[in-house]
Structure 1
């Protein structure tokens, strides 16, 4: 018989407040999750390695340059990653996918910078953005104390936050941060005016004096005096990320109200821990049952907690595979009204949104960002990265801006990651024999060869982005393997994972599984209409509502697809004589064509002349009449 609670009566201490718990609670710092190995997955734990490190001296010195057949990272960036057009995701995944991915990344991994400066990224003479022969500087990730002393004890890195999917980015990974974020009344977390995250001020509201005892929050621009305070130091990086932080704080406080209504005698500590327990369960469910499957990544069935699995973060995941999101980012952050129209303040470019917390206040809160995320198709997973992070990361090139591509390449090298082929062999995959076998695309293979010369020298992050994709998935074989392995370890190696039979009742587990990201958004915002599957992009005016929630599919096809001319052929089958519309939307949900046609019962054939201003990229064609509709993806080359 399933037990509803693990009954350990223990004393839980927090800020000198003591109360008895009827079940064991998850420690803020993750310590003690595994009883035999209490440090596994805790903040400050050493990152794991799935493969042997590849240092120049077998101890600590990174292989950074041509001496080790490692081309200049900026030259690789310019040759491969320069993006001048939009390449929408063919899976039609929305901006929710990459932005929620960043939120989860900040829940499971953070390797802080050390003091060792790297200066090997030299700007080429023909660079279009940065000053030729200048350098891009970055710090090495901090070395784990006691490591890097011999080949038998090579350099390792720290994860300064908990590895578990435990909403540490909401609550913090250190008790002092967790306590700062709490009101210590009714179990709730602090918020500011507008039900936003608290600011680093004496009252938490933006217009009051700065509270210099507030937890440290990152600001590489060094321009912010006031900023939002959250469980993870990176929460102000962009407004989409900040929106998720705020959303889940709201959900925690909403859960507190529900708990108080059901259990009016419970004290602050018990309410806080119960709301935290449920919020973590909701986030875990979204990760494993919505977000990962949307990307074509399914895990084996859950068979319970395995105390022999170390849930720690792998270096191969942190320094390479899970940096997939950097190629999915759009330049333009959409900010939309309930009707799907751009807000009066306009959209905002990502480069203008970095560490700009006022971008939330300026449009009245979170709703315009969530509406925009749901509408816009993210960029494809490829070897292309938008200028906002490739040339304008945290500032313009003349004002200390950086190139995230160069940093990612260098990060893998300084962490001691081996080449793509060595990594594949170390993880049980065959090495690629040629550049063409790696990517399956002759043009890309030629560019890779011009940069690396030998397929055995390809950097792991670059190679994983270039690998042929698995059918129906966002990514290729090695990236899929690493991400799947890591998330399976995070699930199966977590004693407090929500499906572990001793933590929740069967009814509670069913309730958590029935709660989607859309549900969390709808009950914590004023948004009135959003698609059920938020990780799939859908313009607002395409979302079904009312009695015909699931309209029948209209049989339709377009050809040629991909198309290279402006003459698009359309085939539509109608059950009876009727009018129907053909609307074409760009990847960012802009209407490019709106045409009404008349058809007869049976098959109908048309030729539609596309507008001259339709550039190369991905488009959605919506074909609909009063009862049925269909959405067909079109690629214009």
Structure 2
């Protein structure tokens, strides 16, 4: 079929240039009308907006989506429909059924729209964007970079000097494969299909997979593997859902499936796309027919026609942005502005260390602390207490190290202490991830094949300025969500346990002595993770984010499956092809790739193997011989982390950066104790000091922050740091490259 579309659009685009230009400009006018209608309609919906928004969109991202993003997307859909309409008038009989279905492959849609974009004057986009209420620029200007500036920018810009926006916050995801939108442009995969090709409800898939026999538990894999995965995921990926209120200080959630009932019929393109649970025994028993699901926010791709893309709100680089933030204002708010320190809150009991700074809760969070929630570099910090504990660890590590550096370098001012500490913390996070975490999940073979191991001595010389480190869509929307299957129902504290279903958005639990951050992190290290398979614990399947008055909660498996369809991720067999794995040609091949019990279930759920969703299939794959994951997720994750290593100019081992670590500094970093992401209870040390990372597990995670009784390790780091440009003065990273 593709050849037909190719011939057709080549025929269309070889008409006169003026005729082509008129068509594109008319499509832009149509996009302008549609975008304005949506902005007007949004103002009426603001008052009905519900409270809780899990993946909150930043106002700036929402503004770009509703202005340029929506205008160009609607124009693209208009042009694609014109292509289909032309085909319906001129197509031979053998194409008529295909054309009547209003479908065009994403590859053909992309190529067709790319041709239409050639010669499109940017001023035509600008003129229309300015007509939209509250809109101004088509896209933010390219940053002006200072090649010799020694520190990362807060928003990730200017890491790549030739392409300053690569890896920065607020840019579109990249793609390994073209999206598989149902209409080629926008509609979720599986929308409006015939009965024979219809996809099962994502809740149905989830419920069926929970009945499969679990795989044996691996006692060497602890819950710390899960927690480190979530922490690093939030450092490099944040996909916001569409939201209301682009001109407000804070965006508002889109009303969708209010009280479990959706009165209108989804069309596959609008933002509210609820999950059908009308046939589910649990939800229907409470009179509910849907689960709330809102599509991800549209990315601003500039004055370019093309299929829908999603936006990443945080920096792609593994740079500690979950600690320091990806926006300049947030980074400033997190700082104490004295001694290089980060803000913090005193614990209720002396000697238990500081906690994260607090702010008024937003969007239905909070609890017994009187409406206080923790504030961190990533807005999702309050999702569950073990995550907030990990954030607390790194704030304590930062403050202890900044204090130690100030003693050795009393001439350093606040900003110098902050930036030097920040780059050390970022280096530790990179080292822990690549040295200790990735080998557990990917295995030795993938680590060697993709050259992911950090060095034991010396510097790397493999920085590739032509390699875009930006996050690929499938990594964030499917593959790196693997840790959801490792989560347990219970978090162990000091003599007490927290039940996960009662702990979502309950930051007040960390103020209690038995469930302080140190106790919860040590509990992670001493608790085996759930087996890696398609099973998720009940707290995630039936009670996710359940409110006090809700009879039932959300379903994380169903949400992940629906998110993949929302993003137009191609079906599972396409990813095996992309990774050069044995192809899945028929259902008879499933037992060769998946756990046998899962293979049987997938045959029942999907009418064709070409329909199988990537996320559940990735979890069901038999693991690689030396790793935790199956080969498809191993392939995707390894590719992404290779990009993040070789495409990062500030990678901690890279000699060719403005201010590389000295060899002594690198040796000090490398001497940090290995982290307990896999096995063993760490040694018991006294680390409950004022700012040191309280738990013994945390002491292992960031041994650069020594225990109060044993400062030797940190002294080595202090002296190494002091060998740098001790009298240098620098401005804020977010101010030096702020000409956006």
1:510 alignment partner in structure 2: 667
> Does the C-alpha gap of structure 1 residues 30 and 531 become closer, same or farther in structure 2, counting only changes over 3 Å?
closer
Q: Residue 486 of structure 1 is aligned with which of 632, 640, 660?
A: 640
Q: Residue 221 of structure 2 is aligned with which of 90, 93, 103?
A: 93
Aligned pairs for 1:248-327 (under 5 A) are 248-297=394-443, 298=447, 299-300=450-451, 303-327=461-485
Tell me how far apart the structure 1 counterparts of residues 526 and 433 of structure 2 sit (CA, whole Å). Answer: 20
Query: Are 1:408 and 2:560 matched, yes or no?
Result: yes
Query: Are 1:77 and 2:244 matched, yes or no?
Result: no
Tell me how far apart the structure 1 counterparts of residues 397 and 148 of structure 2 sit (CA, whole Å). Answer: 23
- 2:156/2:169 contact within 8 Å kept: yes
2:618 alignment partner in structure 1: 464
> Does the C-alpha gap of structure 1 residues 426 and 436 become closer, same or farther in structure 2, counting only changes over 3 Å?
closer
> Does the C-alpha gap of structure 1 residues 466 and 198 become closer, same or farther in structure 2, counting only changes over 3 Å?
closer
1:382 alignment partner in structure 2: 533
Aligned pairs for 1:220-259 (under 5 A) are 225-259=371-405
- 2:684/2:696 contact within 8 Å kept: no
Q: Residue 332 of structure 1 is aligned with which of 490, 504, 516?
A: 490
1:422 alignment partner in structure 2: 574
- 1:319/1:412 contact within 8 Å kept: yes
Q: Residue 175 of structure 1 is aligned with which of 328, 332, 335?
A: 328
Tell me how far apart the structure 2 counterparts of residues 532 and 30 of structure 1 sit (CA, whole Å). Answer: 28
- 2:240/2:297 contact within 8 Å kept: yes
Tell me how far apart the structure 2 counterparts of residues 288 and 453 of structure 1 sit (CA, whole Å). Answer: 40
Residues 13-42 of structure 1: CA distance to partner in whole angstroms, max 9, x if unpaired? xxxxxxx99961100000100000000000
Tell me how far apart the structure 2 counterparts of residues 105 and 390 of structure 1 sit (CA, whole Å). Answer: 21
Query: Are 1:137 and 2:262 matched, yes or no?
Result: no
Q: Residue 193 of structure 1 is aligned with which of 346, 349, 352?
A: 346
**Unpaired runs of 5+ in structure 1?**
1-19, 202-209, 211-215, 337-342, 535-637
**Unpaired runs of 5+ in structure 2?**
1-145, 244-269, 348-352, 454-459, 677-681, 703-740
Q: Residue 158 of structure 1 is aligned with which of 285, 294, 311?
A: 311
1:51 alignment partner in structure 2: 177
Answer with 466-475 or 42-51: which moved more.
Answer: 466-475
Tell me how far apart the structure 2 counterparts of residues 98 and 37 of structure 1 sit (CA, whole Å). Answer: 34
Q: Residue 42 of structure 1 is aligned with which of 163, 168, 171?
A: 168
1:591 alignment partner in structure 2: none
> Does the C-alpha gap of structure 1 residues 466 and 129 become closer, same or farther in structure 2, counting only changes over 3 Å?
same
Helix, strand or coil at the partner of 1:464: helix
2:231 alignment partner in structure 1: 103
Q: TM-score, normalised by structure 1?
A: 0.72
Q: Residue 60 of structure 1 is aligned with which of 167, 172, 186?
A: 186
1:546 alignment partner in structure 2: none
Give 1:508 deviation, angstroms. Answer: 1.1
- 1:148/1:154 contact within 8 Å kept: no
Tell me how far apart the structure 2 counterparts of residues 520 and 191 of structure 1 sit (CA, whole Å). Answer: 27
- 1:166/1:280 contact within 8 Å kept: yes
RMSD: 2.9
2:520 alignment partner in structure 1: 369
Greater fraction of residues in strand: 1
- 2:155/2:315 contact within 8 Å kept: yes
Give 1:88 deviation, angstroms. Answer: 5.8
> Does the C-alpha gap of structure 1 residues 529 and 244 become closer, same or farther in structure 2, counting only changes over 3 Å?
closer
Tell me how far apart the structure 2 counterparts of residues 441 and 63 of structure 1 sit (CA, whole Å). Answer: 26
Tell me how far apart the structure 1 counterparts of residues 695 and 624 of structure 2 sit (CA, whole Å). Answer: 35
Aligned pairs for 1:572-611 (under 5 A) are none
- 2:204/2:280 contact within 8 Å kept: no
Q: TM-score, normalised by structure 2?
A: 0.62
Query: Are 1:122 and 2:300 matched, yes or no?
Result: no
Give 1:225 deviation, angstroms. Answer: 2.1
Give 1:322 deviation, angstroms. Answer: 0.6
Give 1:63 deviation, angstroms. Answer: 1.9
Give 1:513 deviation, angstroms. Answer: 1.7
Residues 404-449 of structure 1: CA distance to partner in whole angstroms, max 9, x if unpaired? 1111001000101010012222343342133534534332211110
Residues 374-407 of structure 1: CA distance to partner in whole angstroms, max 9, x if unpaired? 1110011101011101111100693572111111
Tell me how far apart the structure 1 counterparts of residues 158 and 684 of structure 2 sit (CA, whole Å). Answer: 33
Tell me how far apart the structure 2 counterparts of residues 441 and 453 of structure 1 sit (CA, whole Å). Answer: 19
> Does the C-alpha gap of structure 1 residues 222 and 139 become closer, same or farther in structure 2, counting only changes over 3 Å?
farther
Helix, strand or coil at the partner of 1:164: coil
Tell me how far apart the structure 2 counterparts of residues 504 and 80 of structure 1 sit (CA, whole Å). Answer: 48
Greater fraction of residues in helix: 2
> Does the C-alpha gap of structure 1 residues 137 and 22 become closer, same or farther in structure 2, counting only changes over 3 Å?
closer
Tell me how far apart the structure 1 counterparts of residues 366 and 511 of structure 2 sit (CA, whole Å). Answer: 19
Q: Residue 431 of structure 1 is aligned with which of 555, 578, 583?
A: 583
Tell me how far apart the structure 1 counterparts of residues 543 and 430 of structure 2 sit (CA, whole Å). Answer: 33
Aligned pairs for 1:425-574 (under 5 A) are 425-433=577-585, 434=587, 435-502=589-656, 503-516=660-673, 517=675, 523=687, 524-527=692-695
